[in-house]
Amino acid sequence: MVPRIRPSLIGLPSYVAGRKIPGAALLASNECPYGLLPAVAARLAGTTAAAFRYPDMTCGALVDALAAHHGVAADRIAVGAGSTEVCGQLLHAVVGPGDEVIFGWRSFEAYPLLTAVAGGTAVRVPLRRDTLDLDAMLAAVTPRTRLVFVCNPNNPTGTAVGADDLRRFVAAVPDDVLVVVDEAYREYADPALVPDAVDLFGERPNVVVLRTFSKAYALAGLRVGYCLGAPEVIRQVRKTQTPFSVATIAQEAAVAALGEVVEVTRRARRTVAERDRMTSRLRELGYDVPSSQANFVWLPLGPDSAGFADQCLAGGVVTRPFPGEGVRVTVGLADENDRFLDLAEKLR
């Protein structure tokens, strides 16, 4: 006889990572294609000697560096092994059995998985023209709602909501519901179009803002994420972190990365230029591509999505299909993007 498994986990799909195929253009996982930041590479060269010791469980140096970076007090920051773990920490802090978690769909595919693991009920609200439908999300709020994810820019569509719409939405959400604004792709967004939620809601106690080092800071393999929120919320979120989840080497790399803002900005601009070039060419070819504010583009191909991705794979380009919905294509190096565009032209 096998142990009894929680019913909510039976049939729950596992998270699917982007494929890694030697020699292929890896455009599936929204990684920064330019390698480690110089200061990070230098810092990593001297960090292995202490690997036999447990890391600082409080991530004190990293939290202090983040506090200085954002100009906030250290008690407003919680960290984790990537923003995905921080999502889980937030859920475990406020969600109990039967509680509801609202998010647009499609959005970050870990949201429903993490919600189920926390014992909550996922409430998926369909997108409107590939964009979060904030009015419909607000209408979905019930007395059982405990948390709302707002992925801005949204993954996998790349679309974003503006400051006025986001401000109205947050103001209408009940004060006892936690609003989590996931800004994993903040560095690629046009600040004139996409608000910085830290600036917009920094003093609002029921809003938490998520950030990550996995994208623009090029630390996807070291897993560092964090959130900013009210001290009373952050205090509880810290309790739900897996002990020692952020390795010493990851903490030190993240601190070094924060000192590379100029280079991070330069790389992000290169990616944005490539993203806009890809978007223009795809539209010339007749693809319906929404305007992206992230480091990827979205092709809403519907039933043709899986076949398109398979054809790209056969041509040496790994993309991220969402069968029946669309294909997400990370912006890579110029030559990788050209390989994809050539395939897209042949497949049209």
Tens-digit pLDDT profile for residues 105-131: 999 999 999 999 999 999 999 999 999
Lookup result for tokens 């042949």: 346
**Mean pLDDT score of the chain:** 95
Is pLDDT at 167 greater than 80 in this prediction? yes
Residues 295, 277: Cα–Cα separation, whole Å: 12
Task: Identify the pLDDT of residue 19.
Answer: 83
Domains of the chain, CATH where assigned: 18-36+261-347 (3.90.1150.10), 38-258 (3.40.640.10)
Is pLDDT at 60 greater than 70 in this prediction? yes
Specify the range with the lowest mean pLDDT, choosing from 40-54, 61-75, 84-98, 306-320: 40-54
Cα–Cα distances in angstroms (integers) from residue 117 to residues 91, 241, 285, 313, in the given order? 9, 14, 42, 32
More confident residue, 55 or 45: 55
Q: pLDDT tens across 302-332, in order? A: 999 999 999 999 999 999 999 999 999 999 9
**pTM of the predicted structure, to 2 decimals:** 0.95
- Bridging pattern class, strands 25-26 and 317-318: parallel
Percent of the chain, pLDDT > 70?
99
The model's confidence at residue 47, banded by pLDDT at 50, 70 and 90, is: low
Q: Which residues contact 270 (CB under 8 A, 6 or more apart)?
A: 34
